[in-house]
Structure 1
Amino acid sequence: MTSPAASTLPSLSSALADIVARTRPAIVSVHSHRSRASGFVWKSGLIVTADEALADEGEVSIRFSDGTERAAQIAGRDHTTDIALLRVDTSTGAPISLSSANPDLGALSVVVAAEQGVATAALGMVSLVGGRWRSMRGGEIDARIELDTRLRRHHEGGLVLNASGEAIGMAVHGVRRILVIPGATIERVATRLETHGRIARGYLGLGLQPVELDDGIGAMVMSVDRAGPAAAAGVQQGDIIVGWNNEKLSGVRSLLRSLGPDSVGSIVDIAIRRASEPVQIKLTIGERAET
C-alpha cells in the first residue's frame, strides 16, 4: 500500500518547481557599484528592486534570466519603503502581476531571486501578518508580513510567491528578520516613482531635539530654515512643540513620521511653549526638496 506521503510530497515538489519556472522570466539580477541584488520586471521597460541594496552612485546593469545584460537608469527611489524603480529594455523579460492579497499566517511561501542572472528559490513560512505600519524612515507599508526563511544579500529584491504562485510582494532584510514589501505598497510607490521620479515628503524647516517636560515629551526647536514653512508660520528657535493637531506630542520620531506624501499642503495646528507661555500656530506643511 502506498503511503500518503509518497504521493503528496512529489506533488508538492512538482507544484513548487512549476511556480518557480513560471516566475523565472520576470526575475533579474541588479548590479550596481559594489552591490548586487535581485529585482523583477514590474512593467515593460521597468524593474523594481530593493532600494537599500542599490548603490548610491555609479552605473547600474541588469542581467536577465537568458543571460542578456543591459545598462539601466534609476527612474526613482524611495528610501522609506525600500523600493527603487529602474528603466531598462525588458524585451527579454516578462512583467509579473502583483497581488494585493495578504497571505495567511503559517502559509508556505517561495522567494524567487537571482544570482548573476541565474534564478534561485527558497521555501519559507509566513511567520507574522499584521496591519498597516510605518518604517523607521517614515514610509507607509500596507501590511506587516514577515517570513521564516533565509535570504542572502544578493537575493534581496526577489519576489515572494504564495502557494498558488501569486506574487504577493518583494523580500527585503529588516532588523533581524525577513520582511515582505506587499504588492499593494509596491504598486502605489512604483506608480508615483514612474510618474514623478520621487516620493514627496512633508517639510517643516525645523531642526528638532527631544526634551523631557514635567508633563510629557516635547520637541525643542534648535534651528529654523528662514525660507521654510515653519518660519513663515512664526515658529522661533527655542520654541518647544508640545502638541500636534490637538493631540499631545508623543515624540520627535512620531512627528517626523507624520510628514508622509499625503501631508504636503495640509494645515496642522501646533501647540508651542514659548518662554513658558502657550502659543498656538497654524502651519502649512511644505514639500522637502530632493537631495
Structure 2
Amino acid sequence: MWRPYVISNDIEYVVLYLYMSISSNAPNLLLSLSQSLADTVERVEGAVVSVNVGRRFSPSGIHWRNGIIVTSDESLHNSEEVTVTLNGGKTVPVKLLGRDASTDVAVFQIDSPDIPVANIGDAATLKVGHLVLGMALSREGNIKAVMGNISVCSGAWKSMSGGNIDQFICPDITLYPGFAGGPLVDANGDVVGMNTSGRRATALTIPSKTVNRVVDQLVVKGRIARGYLGVGMQPVRLPQNLQTALNITGDGGVIVVNIENNAPAEQAGILLGDILITFNDARVKDTNDVLAYLNQSQYVNQTISVQLVRGGELVNLTVTIGERPF
C-alpha cells in the first residue's frame, strides 16, 4: 500500500515508488496524478507571462495582483525597455513601478484587464516533501512546467544584499532558462512564491509573504524604505572589567566614528566615541545587528530607545529612525 510520507528527493523516484507500491492500481493512480498536474497547470498558466528584456533568455513573471506583474529583479539586469508576452503569444507594454535587489523582486504595471490573476497562497503551509510545480512562459507564449518537491523549508533569512526573506524555501526543481521570476505552485494550484536562482544555480523561492510586502511598498513609493541613523560605525570589543562594572552581557558593541550633520543620530544626542549596545532592548554585537534593524522598513520614522556606553557609564537615549536617502 502507498505510504504518502515516503518521498524521494528525486521526482523520478517518486513516480517509480508510486508505481511499485500499489501494483495493479498503479496505472489508475499515475493517470490521476498526471491529470491533476495538468489541471493545475491549466489553472495557473493564464497568470504567467514572459518578461522580454532584450536577451536570449527572458525571465518569466506572475500577474500577482490586478494590473501588477512581479518578476525577478536580478534577471532584468539593466534593461530599460520591457514588454511582456502573454499566454498565447500577445505582447503588451508594461511600466516599471519599482525594483528591490535585496529581495530580488521587480514590479511592473500592466493595462490588460483580461489577464487572469494568480491565486496567491501561503508559503507557510509548505512542508519538506510536498510536491510543487515551477512554471514559466516562453517568449513565444508557450507554457512550461517542471515538477519537484520541497527539499528545504525553514525560517526567515537575510539575503546577501540585506533583504529580509520570511522563509527559506528550496524546491527540488530545475530552473531551466526562462524559469526565474516564474511561480512556485503548490498542490492546491496556489502560487506560494516566486522562483529565483540561488548559489550554484539551485532554485530558491521568495515566499508570497515577502513578495506581498515588497509589492505594497513599490506600488506606493517605487522603492523600499530603509532606516537611517546617519552614523559611521565599527565593531568594538568591551573589556571584561567594563562588562562587569556595567553588568553588560557579551563583549560586543558598535562604536560611532562619524556623525552626519543634522542626521537622526545627531538630533538624538549621540556623540563620537559612543558605543551602542542595545536597540529597543535588543543586544547589538556588531554593525550587522544595527543594519539588520535599520533594514526593517516598519521602523522608519519610529522612535526607539538605544543604550550606549559613554565615558565608562551607561546612557539611555531615544532616537527617531529616519529614511535612508536615495
Please say which of residues 48-57 and 109-118 is displaced more in the overlay.
48-57
TM-score when scaled to structure 1? 0.88
Over the aligned positions, Cα root-mean-square deviation in angstroms equals 2.4
CA distance in 2, matches of 1:7, 1:135: 44
Determine what percentage of the aligned residue pairs are the same residue. Answer: 36
Give the CA deviation at 1:91.
4.2
| Secondary structure at the counterpart of residue 219 of structure 2 | helix
Partner of 1:200: 225
Give the CA deviation at 1:57.
4.8
Q: Structure 2 matches for 1:184-263, cutoff 5 A?
A: 184-214=209-239, 216-259=251-294, 260-263=296-299
Q: Structure 2 matches for 1:73-88, cutoff 5 A?
A: 73-88=95-110
Give the CA deviation at 1:276.
4.6
Q: Structure 2 matches for 1:131-150, cutoff 5 A?
A: 131-150=155-174
Please say which of residues 172-181 and 109-118 is displaced more in the overlay.
172-181
Is the contact between residue 244 and residue 268 of structure 1 (CA under 8 Å) also seen in structure 2? yes
Residue 10 of structure 1: which of 4, 17, 31 is its match? 31
Unaligned runs of 5+ in 1: none
Deviations 1:102-153 (A, max 9, x none): 2222010000112324322111111122234444444333333221121135
Deviations 1:196-250 (A, max 9, x none): 3222221111222223343522223233221321121122334332232234313
CA distance in 1, matches of 2:283, 2:208: 34
Is the contact between residue 99 and residue 168 of structure 1 (CA under 8 Å) also seen in structure 2? yes
State the AA in 1 paired with 2:254: A
CA distance in 1, matches of 2:262, 2:90: 49
Is the contact between residue 147 and residue 179 of structure 1 (CA under 8 Å) also seen in structure 2? yes
CA distance in 2, matches of 1:198, 1:133: 21
Is the contact between residue 235 and residue 285 of structure 2 (CA under 8 Å) also seen in structure 1? no
Partner of 1:38: 60
Q: Structure 2 matches for 1:29-178, cutoff 5 A?
A: 29-32=50-53, 34=55, 36-91=58-113, 93-101=115-123, 102-116=125-139, 117-176=141-200, 177-178=202-203
Is the contact between residue 64 and residue 92 of structure 1 (CA under 8 Å) also seen in structure 2? no
TM-score when scaled to structure 2? 0.80
Aligned residues: 289
Q: Of the two, which has the highest radius of gyration?
A: 2
Give the CA deviation at 1:30.
1.2
- Aligned in 2, Cα 1:54/1:213: closer, same or farther, shift over 3 Å? farther
Is the contact between residue 138 and residue 258 of structure 1 (CA under 8 Å) also seen in structure 2? no
Q: Whose helix fraction is larger, Structure 1's or Structure 2's? A: 2
State the AA in 2 paired with 1:30: V
Is the contact between residue 157 and residue 172 of structure 1 (CA under 8 Å) also seen in structure 2? yes
Is the contact between residue 45 and residue 89 of structure 1 (CA under 8 Å) also seen in structure 2? yes
Unaligned runs of 5+ in 2: 1-22, 240-249
